[in-house]
Amino acid sequence: MKVDLGSVLGFVAAITVLYILMTHDGDISAFWSEHAALVIGGGVISATLVRFPMKTTFTGLISGMKMAIAHQTADPRELIEQITELADVVRKKGPIALETVEVDNEFLAKGVRMIADGYDSAFIRETLERERDLHATRMEDGGKVYKAIGDCAPAFGMVGTIIGMVQMFAHMSDPSKLGPSMAVALLATLYGAVIANFVCMPVAEKLEMKLHHDEIVETLVIDGVLQIRENKSPALIREMLLAYLPHKHREAFEEAA
């Protein structure tokens, strides 16, 4: 599975920018506060566990980040070309010939194996649609968890700010305690903003975008596999599947062919 280079570069750029800004005029340790981290970390985890079941929370965090960074999205144009070639193989040599054909896309490969094994169209449709829907549910759960954290992190940053301000005003007579209290107030806001805007909301939006893309691609595969199973002509299958491409990509694809 290929790494999503855009996501990796985005995280690296964000970390680099923060590091440069934090070390520009002083020690980076000035930006660390155990109390602020406790407010944000404890608050975010608690609120998320209240909102979602524990298993959904931790599964969503792990699988969501994995899908955002390492999830490989298939190119519909390549799939259309490959499905057309598979249809041509079935037309010339029969479904049994698919047993020797190598298919890189796992979802398409599963459909091809079912055709080669002689399953009927209804079973193939039911199996592939169920897998598509389960994949979408897992990705959607991950996106919901990250969106929830992104929503509540700034709010707990404000909670930390209020706590720090209260402590600061409570110790106005002791100048030695004003600095740490003010640090908690400001750093809690910083931590909440960074977690929400540099991590959670981008991951949630990336998962939503990939969810939409994968649903289209997997529906394309399902239609293509079913048409191969019905022994339709490669040209007809190709023409039908081109409807899944945007108009400008469709024209370019047809010209290239």
Q: How far is CA 123 from CA 39, 69, 109, 120, 198, in A?
A: 52, 33, 16, 6, 44
pLDDT at 116: 93
Which tens digits make up the pLDDT trace of 35-92?
899 999 999 999 999 999 999 999 989 888 888 887 666 888 899 999 999 999 999 9
DSSP string, 34-65: HHHHHHHHHHHHHHHHHHS-HHHHHHHHHHHH
Tens digit of pLDDT for each residue in 144-182?
A: 999 999 999 999 999 999 988 888 888 787 777 777 788
- Which tens digit of pLDDT belongs to each residue from 171-180? 787 777 777 7
**Mean pLDDT, residues 103-115:** 93
What does the pLDDT look like over 203-257, one tens digit per residue? Answer: 999 999 989 989 999 999 999 999 999 999 999 999 899 988 877 666 665 655 5
pLDDT at 24: 82
**Mean pLDDT score, 4-17:** 86
pLDDT of residue 172: 81
Q: Identify which of 40, 4, 19, 12 has the alpha carbon closest to the alpha carbon of residue 150.
A: 40
Q: What is the pLDDT of residue 181?
A: 80
pTM of the full predicted structure?
A: 0.82
Q: Do 159 and 80 touch, CB atoms closer than 8 A?
A: no
CA–chain centroid gap for 142, Å, is 7
Matching residue, tokens 């964000």: 14
**Who's near 159: CB < 8 A, 6+ residues apart?**
39, 43, 188
Mean pLDDT value across the chain: 88
Q: Please give the average per-residue pLDDT across 116-142, as a whole number.
A: 93
